[in-house]
Amino acid sequence: MQYSSQAVAKPYFIAAIGLFVGQILFGLILGLQYVLGDFLFPEIPFNVARMVHTNLLIVWLLFGFMGAAYYLVPEESERELESPGLAIAMFWIFLVAGALTILGYLLVPYAGLAQLTGNDLLPTMGREFLEQPTITKLGIVVVALSFLYNIGMTVLKGRKTVVSLVLLIGLTGLAVFFLFSFYNPDNLVLDKFFWWWVVHLWVEGVWELILGSILAFVLIKTTGVDREVIEKWLYIIIAMTLITGIIGTGHHYYWIGTPEYWQWWGSVFSAMEPIPFFMMTVFAFNMVNKRRREHPNKAAVLWALGTATMAFLGAGVWGFLHTLAPVNYYTHGSQITAAHGHMAFYGAYVMIVLTMISYAMPMLRGRTAANSNKSQVLEMWSFWLMTIAIVFITLFLTAAGILQVFLQRMGENPLPFMVVQEKVALFYWLREIAGLVFLIGLLTYVASFFVGNDEPEAKTAG
């Protein structure tokens, strides 16, 4: 570790992993509720479990991004972090606010939570993924602004690199687009229209910039390829991301009451959204093929290559599968969307955070560059367990989705929703089994931090 202030990344990474475990546990509860409708009812109703599952995902990824930025930026800027104390203070504020929010979801009925937190004063609650009480959202804004100040000042006062600037643009976009969560018009069309400015422009816009910059950073460090080469790739990838992703928002506007031209704009531009992900795959493998050194942290390189591949499959291929308006007319909101969501989030964002943790954590824990071989082997096992499990989760959900569309939305005698749910139950059971394998993979990942600590650090082969 080159700068002592990089150490503030460690609690962020630990919190991220802890919340990740929570997210997966609630995912398993949800999976069971699909087939055993009254499982844990009334203690944890389906809507609450779903809210906790998705909100925990968002929060732990944000912890991961922040930790990644706190580790990456001092090294790129060649100076200490502007204010390590502020970073630690914001960590605790964010963690406590997040924990209280989750406890609120679990312990108080949602309508009561809205009343308790004064939602009437500035109504922002009740929308998918943005269910947080208004006061929590205000807390997120405070944390995001403090974080941006800390990172921004470090970048501006230090060496400016393409990696740190792209990261800063991505993080600024993340904060700016979150502000649309406070805009909650009565008109449902307008509400949905701008709701996507948070949700879509995060995951198919500015988050991709964060992903690209973290991937570029890890590849520079692990391959030794010239920074200029990697930066050129990064420029092209983020350009394609923004060109396709911004107008690609239109693929959410097909059926919400917006003008019909969005069916063309949305279809054409979102059909091109796999391009930056494809380029990322070629980029990552090309850099590793051209590497000038063998980095001893094999696990981090594996995560980086896995990110590039799985992001292309999950976000690119599975997104394309249902993005064209004539196809989406039938598939909209079916289990095909869930399949895409699971693989895209895992491939693009879960894996990039785990890539960064894998790269940085050994140094944060006092190693020179990498964990012991024993620890890395276990980590690589967890990589394969989680990745194979998510592939099967995606395939089972896709199968359920195709059957759902066929039985419920096509043909002369479409079946009712709940009748179809019973007919696709087999796939839900299979998904649950795959989910259990994912949990085993995640526990293996956690175990990798506690194994082989007394053994010597892995050395470069050859």
Q: How far is the CB of 316 from other proteins (least distance, A)?
A: 8
How far apart CA 128 and CA 79 sit, in angstroms, is: 40
Q: How far is the CB of 225 from other proteins (least distance, A)?
A: 8
CB of 221 or CB of 227, closer to other proteins: 227
What would the x/- binding string for other proteins be over residues 65 to 84, using CB under 8 A? --------------------
* Contacting other proteins within 295-354 (CB under 8 A): 309, 312-313, 317-318, 321
CB of 226 or CB of 455, closer to other proteins: 226
CB of 129 or CB of 406, closer to other proteins: 406
Burial class for 240, CB neighbours closer than 10 Å (0-12, 13-18, 19+): buried
Residues touching other proteins, count (CB under 8 A) = 26
How far apart CA 453 and CA 462 sit, in angstroms, is: 23
Q: How far is the CB of 204 from other proteins (least distance, A)?
A: 19
Q: How far is the CB of 231 from other proteins (least distance, A)?
A: 12
Q: How far is the CB of 331 from other proteins (least distance, A)?
A: 11
CB of 225 or CB of 360, closer to other proteins: 225
- Which is nearest to 137 in space by CA: 55, 21, 26? 55
* Contacting other proteins within 377-396 (CB under 8 A): 395
Q: How far is the CB of 321 from other proteins (least distance, A)?
A: 6
With the C-alpha atoms ordered 175, 177, 178, 184, is the resulting torsion angle positive or negative? Answer: positive
Contact by Cβ (8 Å): 390, 343: yes
Question: Which one of 290, 293, 365, 459 is in contact with other proteins (CB under 8 A)?
Answer: 290
How far apart CA 340 and CA 319 sit, in angstroms, is: 6
- 8-state DSSP, 257: T
Question: Which one of 93, 286, 369, 392 is in contact with other proteins (CB under 8 A)?
Answer: 286
Q: How many CB atoms lie within 10 A of CB 264?
A: 11
CB of 93 or CB of 229, closer to other proteins: 229
- Which is nearest to 24 in space by CA: 435, 447, 450? 435
How far apart CA 372 and CA 459 sit, in angstroms, is: 8
CB of 44 or CB of 317, closer to other proteins: 317
Q: How many CB atoms lie within 10 A of CB 279?
A: 20
Question: Which one of 68, 130, 140, 402 is in contact with other proteins (CB under 8 A)?
Answer: 402
Q: How far is the CA of 347 from the CAs of 315, 340, 387, in angstroms?
A: 8, 10, 8
Question: Which one of 43, 187, 260, 289 is in contact with other proteins (CB under 8 A)?
Answer: 289
Q: How far is the CB of 282 from other proteins (least distance, A)?
A: 5
* Contacting other proteins within 82-121 (CB under 8 A): none
Question: Alpha carbon 293 to chain centroid distance?
Answer: 30
**Contact range with other proteins by CB under 8 A, out of 112-120, 124-132, 290-298, 445-453:** 290-298
CB of 18 or CB of 224, closer to other proteins: 224
- Kindly state the tokens that stand for 93: 């504020």
Specify the residue for token string 């069916």.
263
- Kindly state the tokens that stand for 403: 């059957």
Backbone phi and psi for residue 313, each to the nearest 5 degrees, phi listed first: -70, -50
Contact between 403 and other proteins by CB under 8 A: the answer reads yes
Q: How far is the CB of 347 from other proteins (least distance, A)?
A: 12
CB of 290 or CB of 459, closer to other proteins: 290
Burial class for 37, CB neighbours closer than 10 Å (0-12, 13-18, 19+): exposed
Contact by Cβ (8 Å): 310, 346: yes
Q: For the residues of 395-417, what is the DSSP string, one character each?
A: HHHHHHHHHHHHHHHSSSSPPPH
CB of 375 or CB of 398, closer to other proteins: 398
With the C-alpha atoms ordered 75, 17, 56, 242, is the resulting torsion angle positive or negative? Answer: positive
- Kindly state the tokens that stand for 40: 């844990």
Q: Residues in the chain, how many?
A: 462
Contact by Cβ (8 Å): 370, 453: no
**Contact range with other proteins by CB under 8 A, out of 44-52, 95-103, 135-143, 289-297:** 289-297
Contact between 222 and other proteins by CB under 8 A: the answer reads no
Q: How far is the CB of 352 from other proteins (least distance, A)?
A: 18
Contact by Cβ (8 Å): 181, 198: yes
CB of 293 or CB of 459, closer to other proteins: 293
CB of 97 or CB of 313, closer to other proteins: 313
What would the x/- binding string for other proteins be over residues 266 to 285, using CB under 8 A? ------------x--xxxxx
Contact between 407 and other proteins by CB under 8 A: the answer reads yes
- 8-state DSSP, 413: S
Footprint on this chain of other proteins (rule: CB under 8 A): 226, 229, 278, 281-286, 289-292, 309, 312-313, 317-318, 321, 395, 398-399, 402-403, 406-407
